[in-house]
Amino acid sequence: MLEALLWGAVAAGSLVIGGLLGVAREWPDKLIGAVLAFGAGALISAVSFDLFEEGVQQGGGLPVAIGLTAGALTYFTLDRIVEKRVPGAGTALALGALLDGIPEQAVLGIGLASGQGVSISLLAAIFVSNLPEAIGASTDLRDAGRSRPSILRLWGVVAVVCTLATVGGFGLADATSGDFKAGINGFAAGALLVMLVDSMIPDATKKAGRIAGLVTVLGFAVAAGLS
C-alpha cells in the first residue's frame, strides 16, 4: 500500500510541477504548443500500448469497449457542462487530467497489487503527459484571470485525487476480475482520446503551428520506446 502511495505521488506530482511552471512566468505560445504536442504523442502511445492493448489481454475486447464508451461519453458530457460555466481550453485540460488520471493511476495500483511491479512505460507516459497538460492549462487559466493560488490549489486537489486512485486500485485489485480491470483501462483510453481531439491537439496546433505534428510523433516515439 505504501509503495502504491509513493508511485501514485510520483506520477501525480508532475501535475503540481506543471502548475508551478505554468504560473511562474510567461511562456511563449510556440513552446507551450510544442510541449502540449509532445504530451499528446506520449498519451497516444499510452492509449495504444498501456491501456487498450493491456486491457484486451486482461479481459477481452468487450469490457474494454464498454469502458471506452463510458470514458468517452463521461468526458464529453462533463466537458460540455464545465465549458458552459467556465469556458476555455485550460478548464478542459484540467478536467481531462482528472478524468484520465484517476483510471490511469488506478491501473498503476492494480499492477503493483498483482505482483507485476510498476509499469515504467505507463508511469513515464503519465508523468510526461501531465506536465504539458498542467503547464498549458495553467497558462490558459491565468490568461483567463484566475489567480495563481487558485490555480495551484486546483492542481493540488487533482494530484491528491489521482494519488488516492493509485491506492484505490491497489486495494481493489484482489476483489476485482480481469473484466473490471479491462474496463478501467478502456475508460481511461476513452476519456483520453476525446480530450486529445477536443482540447489538447487543437491547442497544440494553434500555439505551435505546423511543427506540432512532428513534435507529436517525437512524443509518441519516446513513450512507445519506453513501453
Q: List, for residues 79-119, the tens digit of each pLDDT value.
A: 788 777 766 666 776 777 787 788 878 878 877 877 666 77
Confidence label for 159 from pLDDT (cuts 50, 70 and 90): very high
3-62 confidence digits (pLDDT tens): 888 888 998 999 999 999 988 888 888 988 898 898 889 889 888 888 888 889 888 899
Query: Would you state the torsion angle of the CA atoms of residues 11, 13, 16, 20, taken in this order, to the nearest 10 degrees?
Result: -110
Cα-to-chain-centroid distance, residue 217: 18
What pLDDT, on the 0 to 100 scale, is given for residue 26? 81
What does the pLDDT read at residue 161? 93
C-beta of residue 131 within 8 angstroms of C-beta of residue 16:
no
Reply yes or no on whether the pLDDT at 157 is more than 70: yes
Q: DSSP readout, 108-135?
A: HHHHHHTTS---HHHHHHHHHHHHHHHH
List pLDDT tens digits, range 135-146. 878 887 888 788
* Percent of the chain scoring above 70 in pLDDT: 94
More confident residue, 161 or 184: 161
Evaluated on CA atoms 142, 134, 105, 195, the torsion sign reads positive
Task: Quote the pLDDT of residue 72.
Answer: 92
How many CB atoms are located within 10 Å of the residue 172 CB? 16
Please state the pTM of the whole predicted model. Answer: 0.80
pLDDT of 207 higher than 70: yes
